[in-house]
Amino acid sequence: MRVARSFASRATTEEHFVDVARRASAALERLGASTPMHLDALMKIFSLNEDIQPTTATMRRRAHPLVIPLAETRDGRHVYGLYVGRAAMGGARTSATNFSFFHKSREDVAASNSASSAAPGGISAIPIVRSGPRGLMHLAADATHFVRRKLAEDERDFGVGAGAVTLACGADALDAYAPGELTSSPFKSRMEVFLTKNVGRFMDVDEALIARHVEKKDETSALVTGEWYTDGPYAGWARPYAVNADTLMRHGRAIEARDQARVALSAGPWWTIGDDGELLSRMKVLSGYDGRSAADVRKTLEGGDVAIGQNVNDGEPPPTPEELALKAAGAAMDAIAWGEGGGEDGWASCREVVAERLEEAGLAELSAHVVEPLRSSSQS
């Protein structure tokens, strides 16, 4: 992260980020969620980065519909924000609380959500993400994990209490990270190990561990770490399975890679595979589904059409109208991730239909959040 703002410039920018944080807190309150701990510290960290600025109306429209924007890159390509997909869906009167496909039974979904609620960084947490034209990148389980990591990296780079991030966060972050934690750790020279053991799991750190084994040509360790990645605390995110498929293919395991790619396309929404579409494109090829439409692939993964009065899972009751509406909302967003539609408008192109389907699913507050950027931009 480049840190290069003058004091006066940073003070003005920080004020703008404070306003953004207030708006984000208000949005969370409307969705029935609490303001994350250390959100203010996270915004101070953003304010230090000269490549990042508070979100504009244009980028709020183009961000993923289930993200509350906090900041954007100055090149206008990415938005950083809070992913409310799981948090807002937790109280929904449906079984598809993570926009997952109906190949999962109601019991599977309930068990998954129960486990996530009981675990740190689960459904009650609000992940920090980066939104791009084709999906999301999971950056941290919540604001506290993000801040703890940045403070540890600041200590590694500048020493105890000497870095700009540490100074900017000040007392706001003392309960998140104690100065000297990294320095006094036996893993001070191995940041990825320190983070994993003392802070939490991060997708890019897990992937770096896999890449290191690949670079060392240690096939066994790479494959074992890839499998370990899929068992991480990333409920509802398909990316770990996609990375595992990639790793299997790198080592000549073509059949296993194909099967794992299909698992990736079934494990969670396609927008959770990555923000730029590159990894999803490789999953299309590996799975054997390249050249097919999003709707056609979804039908194959589900084992056939799912309509009212019909269910591919024998013995289960048919999906409710609310569940089908929720499924349709997910399908509209998955189509953008798949590369169908969007164009220059990106995620803005599906906001209307997603909001309509969420309204039908009984999620009025989430529907209002999704459509609000379109309304506010038309009035400005």
- 6 band by pLDDT with thresholds 50, 70 and 90: low
pLDDT higher than 90, residue 314: no
DSSP code string of 125-180? S--EEEEETTEEEEEESSHHHHHHHHHHHHHHHH-TTTSHHHHHHGGGGTTT--TT
Please determine, for residue 308, whether its predicted confidence score (pLDDT) is greater than 60: no
What is the four-CA torsion angle of 302, 308, 310, 316, rounded to 10 degrees? 90
Q: How confident is the model at residue 88 (pLDDT cuts 50, 70, 90)?
A: low
Q: What is the pLDDT averaged over residues 211-229?
A: 96
Query: What is the per-residue pLDDT for 309?
Result: 42
> Would you call 316 helix, strand, or coil by DSSP?
coil
Residue 74's pLDDT is 94
CA separation, residue 322 to residues 207, 340, 370 (Å): 37, 25, 17
Q: Are 371 and 352 in contact (CB under 8 A)?
A: yes
Angle between helices 351-360 and 364-379 (to 10 degrees): 150
Number of residues written out for the chain = 380
Buried-exposed string 227-260: b where 16+ CB fall within 10 A, e elsewhere: eebbeeebbbbbbbbbbbbbbbbebebeebbbeb
pTM for the whole structure: 0.87
| Residue 339 pLDDT > 80 | yes
CB-count burial class (<10 Å; 0-12, 13-18, 19+) for 276: middle
Q: Return the pLDDT at 303.
A: 81
Termini Cα distance of the chain: 33
Mean pLDDT for 102-112 is 39
Rounded alpha-carbon distances, angstroms, from residue 81 to 21, 26, 129, 319: 10, 14, 6, 32
Question: What is the predicted pLDDT for the residue at 3?
Answer: 53
Residue pLDDT, tens place only, 45-55? 999 999 999 99
166-190 per-position pLDDT tens digit: 999 988 788 899 999 999 999 999 9
**Cα Rg, the chain, nearest whole Å:** 21
d(CA 135, CA 16): 26
Q: Is 357:325 a contact under the CB 8 Å cutoff?
A: yes
- Mean pLDDT of the region 293-308: 78
Average per-residue pLDDT for the chain: 85
How far is it, in rounded angstroms, from Cα 320 to Cα 341?
28
Q: Is 292 exposed, middle or buried (0-12, 13-18, 19+ CB in 10 A)?
A: middle
pLDDT tens digit string along 241-285? 999 999 999 999 999 999 999 999 999 999 999 999 999 999 999
Q: pLDDT tier at 107 (50, 70, 90 boundaries)? A: very low
d(CA 308, CA 288): 29
